[in-house]
Homo-oligomer: A and B are copies of this chain.
Amino acid sequence: MSLTTKEKILKEAATLFSELGYKATSVRKIASKVGIRESALYNHFKNKEEIFLTIADEIFVTPIQISQEEIEKEAKRGKAFLNRFVTQYKLLTFDKHSEKMFRLLLIELFANKALRERFINEFHQKNIKLLSQAFFIMMQNDLIRSNDPILIAYEFLSVLFYIRFEITLLRFDNKSTASLATQMEKHVDFFWESIKKQNC
């Protein structure tokens, strides 16, 4: 619990940036929350931007990773793979720090081209690639009906993102997200029924 001044700065700045955005967060406010003067802050960081960039790097640090081998193994299990994916997506959505970083990303998305590109690559493309690989394997194993794996991946991911987006909005105003917490599981059930091989 005993943080260095530098760590305290990053902690308070992350909170402020993720609530007010880059521009509206002043060096003054950060210093005030830390309990030091603005000038003292410049002993730890070159300028405001350096503080922001240090924090922004965390946005794309995903604690959860699935290896290529795991995809191939897990995808053969069909719906169980989707459930596992959603469980991890839910953890990210409800984890306090991940929530903060996701909000920061959304707030700064149109102000920062680098963030936009990393969003497309790491939040969209990476997930689409992973999911379409899994759906392709499910088709090979005759678990789901034949279709474009990328289209299916798109359909599956979109709903999760939308729910996360809504949850992030509601939580910012301390509103209840109870109904949305189960929405992701309902999505897996509905989706699996849509794509699975029919036996009729």
Given A110-B107, A159-B159, decide whether A116 and B173 contact each other with a Cβ distance below 8 A: yes
Whole-angstrom CA separation of A116 from B162 in the bound complex:
15
Counting chain A residues whose Cβ lies within 8 A of the other chain, the interface size class is 35 or more
Whole-angstrom CA separation of A163 from B157 in the bound complex:
11
Whole-angstrom CA separation of A24 from B107 in the bound complex:
13
Q: What string of 1s and 0s marks CB contacts (under 8 Å) between A163-194 and chain B?
A: 10110011011000000000100110011011
Q: How many copies does the complex hold?
A: 2
Please determine whether B155 and A187 come into contact, CB atoms closer than 8 angstroms: yes
Name the residue of chain B whose CB is nearest to the CB of A161: B162
A113 at the interface (CB under 8 A from B): yes
Name the residue of chain B whose CB is nearest to the CB of A160: B158
Q: Which residues of A does B touch, CB under 8 Å?
A: 19-21, 23-24, 103, 106-107, 109-111, 113, 116, 119-120, 124, 147, 151-152, 154-155, 157-159, 161-163, 165-166, 169-170, 172-173, 183, 186-187, 190-191, 193-195, 198, 200
Whole-angstrom CA separation of A24 from B109 in the bound complex:
14
Please determine whether A113 and B173 come into contact, CB atoms closer than 8 angstroms: yes
- In the assembled complex, which residues on chain B have CB atoms less than 8 Å from the CB atom of A169? 109, 116, 119-120
